[in-house]
Amino acid sequence: MIIYSWNVNGFRAVTGKGFWDWFQDRNIDVLCLQETKAHPDQLPAKDKEVSGYNIYWNPARIKKGYSGTACFYRLEPQYISTGLPQEHLNGEGRMILMEYESFYLFNVYFPNGQMSHERLKFKLNYYDRFLEYAQDLRRKKPIVVCGDFNTAHKDIDLKNPRANEDRSGFLPVERQWLDKFIDHGYVDTFRMFNQEGGNYTWWTYRFGARSRNAGWRIDYFFVSEELRSNVQNAWIEPQVMGSDHCPVGLKLNI
């Protein structure tokens, strides 16, 4: 099973920047998108109907052109839902949960905490409520989580760690949550195969950052420990343009 995750920073924008060529060149079973910034009603018909795939949209309810997630899938899940049990966290369209026979798949666009102290609190609360939800479902079957976590975990995961110690996305409290997540038995699949620096998934549009590979690794595939032996490969595709993020992939033997 081939699963991809990509923060496209606007679905309407990325479809004009080679998205469909990339999609058709990959043998994708499930594609999880974040930051779609679109309601299906805003899209042309050609971008809402893909041969061989169903598409599930979870746009932001609080305002148009913001946040949002979507899943393209050719393997039919048993069940699809959106959001966390805490309804007040769900207005931004940040989560899609797909239940398959042998695992749950979360597609999540975790909040960014840079805007204000209140948004950082919102992000940390979202993190904690997500972990509770994942752990509750994990009692039934294993978990796969993909998406934009908006936090680089270790120094190796961003180009300039010391210069960003006081910036949301690399704050100690955010990194500590990723430690806690991993301590609960979740595996960073990319690091199963690659322990090298210089592997990033997001680059600011400013300062020629992408051409200099001055990036952050904030997009992940995690699996619960029970699925570790099922992971055949995990990778990043930094050569794929169209967004300030690049796609990340996972191959599971399921």
Q: Is 1 helix (H, G, I), strand (E, B) or coil?
A: coil
| Residues paired with residue 82 on neighbouring β-strands, in sequence order | 96
Is 35 part of any known ligand binding site?
Answer: yes
Q: Look up residue 229 and give its two tokens.
A: 């032996």
Task: Identify the active-site residue in 4, 73, 109, 126.
Answer: 109
CA distance 141 to 224: 10
- Supply φ then ψ for residue 104, to 5 degrees: -100, 140
Is 101 part of any known ligand binding site?
Answer: no
Provide CB contacts within 8 A for 117, sequence distance 6+.
none
HEC profile for 62-119?
CCCCCCCEEEEECCCCCEEEECCCCHHHCCCCCEEEEECCCCEEEEEECCCCCCCHHH
Q: Would you call 73 a catalytic residue per the annotation?
A: no
Q: Look up residue 239 and give its two tokens.
A: 């050569």
Task: Identify the active-site residue in 4, 126, 133, 245.
Answer: 245
Is 150 part of any known ligand binding site?
Answer: yes
Task: Identify the active-site residue in 73, 126, 127, 148.
Answer: 148
Q: Would you call 136 a catalytic residue per the annotation?
A: no
CA distance 251 to 184: 22
Is 237 part of any known ligand binding site?
Answer: no
CA distance 153 to 220: 10
Is 244 part of any known ligand binding site?
Answer: yes
Q: Would you call 109 a catalytic residue per the annotation?
A: yes
| Residues paired with residue 43 on neighbouring β-strands, in sequence order | none
Element (DSSP H or E) covering residue 57: strand 54-58
Q: Is 247 helix (H, G, I), strand (E, B) or coil?
A: coil
Is 157 part of any known ligand binding site?
Answer: no
Q: Which residues are annotated as a binding site for Mg(2+)?
A: 7, 35, 148, 150, 244-245
Catalytic residue positions, numbered: 109, 148, 245
Q: Which residues are annotated as a binding site?
A: 7, 35, 148, 150, 244-245
